[in-house]
Amino acid sequence: MAPSAQSLPTSVSDEKYANVKWEELGFGFYRTDSMYVAKCKHGESFQEGKIVPYADLQISPCSAVLNYGQGLYEGLKAYRTEDGRIMLFRPDQNALRLQSGAHRLCMPCPSVDQFVSAVKQVVLANKKWIPPPGRGTLYLRSVLFGSGPILGSFPVSEYTFTMFACPVGRYHSDNAGLNLKIEDKFRRAFPGGTGGVKSITNYSPVWITVAEAKAQGFSDVLFLDAATGKNVEELYASNVFIVKGNVVSTPEISGTILPGITRKCIIELTRDFGYKVEERVVPVEDLLDAEEVFCSGTAAIVTTIASVTFKDKKTGFKTGDKTLAAKLFATLTDIQLGRVEDKNGWTVEIDRCHQCETLKL
């Protein structure tokens, strides 16, 4: 918790919930009440934005985002604890990642404080949409994009930063673990490209293969590196780990995989558990030879991978309660839901911050 945070109670026990069938929540778009919008002119910096009713945005048909894909997104979650507090998990890390992406895509970016303040405001403005403890979380999605028109010449005249909220349940519905297809043709990112930032341009180019894999009954796709096609990179939107004996390995950050915040937490936690953690090049053979494989992300949390299929050959891995993935899932969600002491200082409790009081939220 930030040292300056005031400890006004944020009891939600008596508060009304939105009319949602919480037990049926999946991971998808759900319209909520309010969103945050801030705009910035070229050459200026982002000023404090506004909470406004959730609505479509008006945008120039000639905008940078529509024509050239100048956009970045971030995703994080707000959690309700059993004792009625509202928590965030490492929101500063999302803010910093957005900054590095903004630099890569030539955009100005809200400061870390602005970003975190926007998150708190959006959560408080949509408080009744935060699922009850254990039923799900409130997913916060932000998008930073070039909203000004651009046809030939730079610069883009205006940028927009927006954030909205959707109640979500589980991302993957495969209880027994995921069955992945190792993609041998399409690539997700290339050296020197934008794979290392959450650029909106990284996702739809691989829908063709994700859709095909899903139609074939797979849960998700595991991508290989573009340079050699020999090494494992990551899934569509989550990072991958392999376990063999006392060694946990994950592809190193080299610009072609997204530096996941969950990935970073898992590296710390597994070291605390006494494993040796290696961030390195992970050849497909090493993955096929692993005892256990799992993926990580804000949406996926930690999800066991039951099998991978590479060139039509299926290889299975350990699943169930005794896996490292199960232990990590439990540890991480206990910290996020405030059930255990947060020794790493990862959680941020949302108090009725000054700004939100003035906004009468």
Ligand X SMILES: *Cc1c(COP(=O)(O)O)cnc(C)c1O
Cα–Cα distance for residue pair 309/268, rounded to 1 Å: 29
How many C-beta neighbours within 10 Å does residue 31 have?
Answer: 10
Least gap, CB of 84 to ligand X (angstroms): 26
Query: Per the omega criterion (within 30 degrees of 0), is the bond before 155 cis?
Result: yes
Give the nearer residue to ligand X in terms of CB position, either 256 or 319.
Answer: 256
Does 95 engage in binding with ligand X (CB under 6 A)? no
Regarding beta strands 292-297 and 239-244, do their DSSP bridges make them parallel or antiparallel, or are they unpaired?
A: antiparallel
Both ends of the chain: CA-CA distance in Å?
21
Least gap, CB of 359 to ligand X (angstroms): 28
322 is catalytic: no
Least gap, CB of 97 to ligand X (angstroms): 7
User: Which of 198, 264, 276, 322 is flagged as catalytic?
Assistant: 198
Query: What are the DSSP calls for 145-165, one per residue?
Result: EE-SB-SSSS--SEEEEEEEE
Give the nearer residue to ligand X in terms of CB position, either 137 or 296.
Answer: 296
Choose, by CB under 6 A, the member of 261, 287, 328, 348 that binds ligand X.
261
Cα–Cα distance for residue pair 333/17, rounded to 1 Å: 22
Choose, by CB under 6 A, the member of 238, 249, 319, 336 that binds ligand X.
238
Give the nearer residue to ligand X in terms of CB position, either 119 or 150.
Answer: 119
Judged by CB under 6 A, which stretch of 27-35, 119-127, 138-146, 260-268 contacts ligand X?
260-268
Judged by CB under 6 A, which stretch of 28-36, 80-88, 256-264, 269-277 contacts ligand X?
256-264
Least gap, CB of 220 to ligand X (angstroms): 11
Nearest CA to 73 out of 182, 156, 197, 213 is that of 197
Choose, by CB under 6 A, the member of 258, 287, 290, 293 that binds ligand X.
258
Point out which residues pair with 50 in neighbouring strands. 37
Choose, by CB under 6 A, the member of 209, 239, 304, 307 that binds ligand X.
239
Does 356 engage in binding with ligand X (CB under 6 A)? no
Nearest CA to 13 out of 87, 82, 78, 89 is that of 82
The torsion angles phi and psi of 205, rounded to 5 degrees, stand at -60, -20
Q: Check if the beta carbon of residue 314 is closer than 8 Å to that of residue 307.
A: yes
Coil/strand/helix, residue 82 = coil
Q: Which of residues 272-301 bind ligand X (CB under 6 A)?
A: 296-298
Give the nearer residue to ligand X in terms of CB position, either 89 or 317.
Answer: 89
Nearest CA to 287 out of 243, 234, 223 is that of 243
Per CB under 6 A, residues contacting ligand X are 198, 234, 237-239, 258, 260-263, 296-298
Task: Give the active site residues.
Answer: 198
